[in-house]
Structure 1
Amino acid sequence: MPDFMFVYHGGKPPESQEAIDKAMAAWGKWMQDHGPALTDAGNPVGMSKTVTSSGTTDNGGANPVSGYSIVSAADIAEACRIASSNPMVAGGGSVEVAEIVPISM
């Protein structure tokens, strides 16, 4: 079964303990619901930098990454169905879904 990278964009950090608790409960439920498919539940990320041939900038690009997960699914359609219930989507962010293509060296 192929693995898919979920790259999270957007979302806002919770501003109160109540909001943190609610967000953690939503993520916990999502992880429980899709536990067997989660190869790596992932993590949020800090500030990103963009590296190009012109140098390095601190802006993270037009739509900076806010976290990631790795999910096993039969195909990209199933991976997208799993992503559609992700708390990032419900919170106004987005989930970019991409198949991880293994290479042999």
Structure 2
Amino acid sequence: MTKFLYVYHGSGKMPATETERKAVTDAWNGWFGKLGKSVVDGGNPVGMSKTVLSGGKIENNGGSNPTGGYSIIEARDIDDAAEKAKGCPMLAMPNCSVEIAPIIEMM
């Protein structure tokens, strides 16, 4: 099995109420539960990013496609990883996506 990095993109907003937080947590836990042992690292949401460009220029806009979080999942190949991503709760939000890339072990 190969490890894949899932990078969640979009403008997902953090839930404001306890009820909303529980619903979001339940959705993610349910999806991770379906993936079972494929979940290597459930990851975390991330805060607003900065982008350092060549020449040292820093942009504070979160990038053209803001990162919302990440996970590491095991799958047979990238097609299997893409199929597994289809159930991601992030995809229920407008303008959100999951970017998938194989993690290349260097040693």
Larger mean Cα displacement after TM superposition, 70-79 or 55-64: 55-64
Summarize the alignment of residues 1-105 of structure 1 with structure 2, pairs less than 5 Å apart.
1-10=1-10, 11-54=12-55, 55-92=57-94, 93-104=96-107
1:91 deviation in Å? 2.2
61-70 or 95-104: bigger deviation:
95-104
Read off the aligned partner of 2:13 and give its amino acid letter.
K
State which drifts further: 91-100 or 77-86. Answer: 91-100
Gaps of 5+ in 2: none
Q: CA deviation at 1:4?
A: 0.5
Q: How far is 1:35 from its partner?
A: 2.4
Give RMSD over aligned pairs.
Answer: 1.2
Output the amino acid matched with 1:60: G
- Runs of 4+ in structure 1 deviating by more than 3 angstroms, as ranges, are none
Structure 1 stretches of 5 or more lacking a match?
none
Distance in structure 1 (CA, Å) of the matches to 2:36 and 2:46: 21
TM-score by length of 1: 0.91
Aligned residue identity for 1:57? E
TM (norm. structure 2) is: 0.90
User: SS of 2:76's equivalent?
Assistant: coil
